[in-house]
Amino acid sequence: MEPGSVFGHNGVVPVPRAVGSALAGLVWALLRLAAPALAQINPHTALLEQAGWKALDAGQPEPAATAFRDALAEDPKNPRLHLGAAVAAYAQRRDDEAKTAIDRALALQPALPGARELLGRVLYRSGDLDGAIRVYSALVAGRPPTDPFAQLHDRWRREAELRDRMNVTVGSGFTIAFEGAADTDLAAQALASLERASARIGGLLGVFPLHPVPVVLYTGEQFRDITRAPQWAGGAFDGTIRIPMRGALADAAEFDRVLAHEYTHALVYDLAKRGVPTWLNEGLAAALERDRTPEPPPVAIPLGSLVESFGRFGGAEAQQAYVASAFAVQRLLDAHGGFTMTSLLRDLGDGADFATAFADRFQQPFAEFDSSLR
């Protein structure tokens, strides 16, 4: 996501690399449902399981993954341990691993509490909307409409109904979905804009998407309903670029900016589905929105405080966070170039520790770089 004018205060993209608020809520639900039965034959395994759930609750998926992996080595037929491993993998955006772990948990205990709730989310984030709906249709049968999972299921169904009404145009590296014939010109404009952004940004970073990037154009109401983005958000990326169309044809430059911002998130997602702090993800997207150099940030914000999603900020705070992040990233690009930035992202995607990878690629400790900005 990132701030904007025509498109809202700014468009923020949820490509969080740590446990965000939505996942934290899910983890709490899983803890309540799955964690009480910690008594096991092996006390050491029970301690590992407890440590894994505690790490997840603290937003630390990597040590959680290690704890569950060690516990499974001692008790490979324990479905709760497979579920814990699945939650840790989901938190790190390793969705294929998460699904495999959930499948194993359900094979051992088909009615395991929490497993199907997580499976639906994994399928949704992997792009299998129909599969997610099927899982939740069985899960929420008989639950009241106020149940959180029933509400999520209802929102997914509305998204699927909208998707099925949409037209699709295909270009070089993109598919653009839009609702009616009246939006055909806008879809063509979006496609041309994205292809220009791809050439410009790809040339700088030396990387292009591995697969066609899906793009959906929404009305403002549809965008808020589907994404649940903050009011100030001008776009979103969750594996799909999602853009509210309001005012797009009236301000082509702003439309180009938002599309380029979200396209950069798609590139980052291809390079590193985990491990990227929000300041780096959003700062790169903001710095590459157009050919420009960000002004010095009006407020000196420590980058260490901008690791998690900017969705928690109000509009003014978000604006400051974006400007500070873009300024920091522009400094790195100016000093080291786009290829070095791409190498850092690949390191993070491979599971490298951020501080270690940063120091290796930029030849400077991260703390020292952060301090130099202020």
* Separation of alpha carbons 181 and 166, rounded Å: 9
Average pLDDT of span 131-157: 92
Q: Tell me whether residue 318 is in a domain.
A: yes
Residues 205 and 108 in one domain: no
CATH number at residue 196: 1.10.390.10
Among 110, 130, 150, the domain boundary falls at 130
Query: Cα–chain-centroid distance for residue 95?
Result: 12
Residues 289 and 184 in one domain: yes
Average pLDDT of span 141-149: 89
Using the CB atoms, write b or e for 228-255: b if 16+ within 10 Å: ebbebbbbbbbbbbbbbbbebeeeeebb
The pLDDT mean for the chain works out to 84
Residues 171 and 118 in one domain: no
Q: What is the pTM of this model?
A: 0.76
Say if residues 215 and 176 touch (Cβ distance below 8 Å).
yes
Say if residues 150 and 158 touch (Cβ distance below 8 Å).
no
Lowest mean pLDDT among 36-40, 167-171, 178-182, 344-348: 36-40
Q: Tell me whether residue 83 is in a domain.
A: yes
How would you classify residue 363: left for phi > 0, otherwise alpha for psi between -120 and 50, otherwise beta? Answer: left
For residue 74, the model assigns a pLDDT of 92
Q: Tell me whether residue 10 is in a domain.
A: no
Q: Tell me whether residue 323 is in a domain.
A: yes
Structural domains counted in the chain: 2
Among 69, 103, 130, the domain boundary falls at 130
Q: Tell me whether residue 68 is in a domain.
A: yes
For residue 21, the model assigns a pLDDT of 39
Q: Tell me whether residue 12 is in a domain.
A: no
Residues 79 and 191 in one domain: no
- Asked if pLDDT for residue 15 goes beyond 70, the answer is no
Lowest mean pLDDT among 28-37, 95-104, 180-189, 279-288: 28-37
- Asked if pLDDT for residue 79 goes beyond 70, the answer is yes
Residues 116 and 265 in one domain: no
Residues 253 and 107 in one domain: no
Token pair for residue 141? Answer: 């049968």
Model confidence band, residue 5 (pLDDT cutoffs 50, 70, 90)? very low
Residues 172 and 93 in one domain: no
Per-position DSSP letters for 15-74, written without gaps between them: --SS--HHHHHHHHHHHHHHSS----S-HHHHHHHHHHHHHHHTT-HHHHHHHHHHHHHH
Q: Tell me whether residue 159 is in a domain.
A: no
Q: Tell me whether residue 350 is in a domain.
A: yes
* Separation of alpha carbons 164 and 186, rounded Å: 19
Residues 95 and 176 in one domain: no
Percent of all residues in the chain with a pLDDT value above 70, rounded to a whole number: 85
Among 102, 130, 158, the domain boundary falls at 130
Model confidence band, residue 20 (pLDDT cutoffs 50, 70, 90)? very low
For residue 158, the model assigns a pLDDT of 92
Residues 184 and 331 in one domain: yes
Residues 268 and 353 in one domain: yes
CATH number at residue 42: 1.25.40.10
Average pLDDT of span 227-234: 76
Residues 174 and 109 in one domain: no
Residues 120 and 177 in one domain: no
* Dihedral of alpha carbons 39, 43, 46, 51, sign: positive
pLDDT, tens digit, 9 for 90 and up, residues 295-329: 666 667 899 888 888 878 887 888 888 889 999 99
Q: Which domain holds residue 336?
A: 167-372
Say if residues 207 and 293 touch (Cβ distance below 8 Å).
no
For residue 137, the model assigns a pLDDT of 95
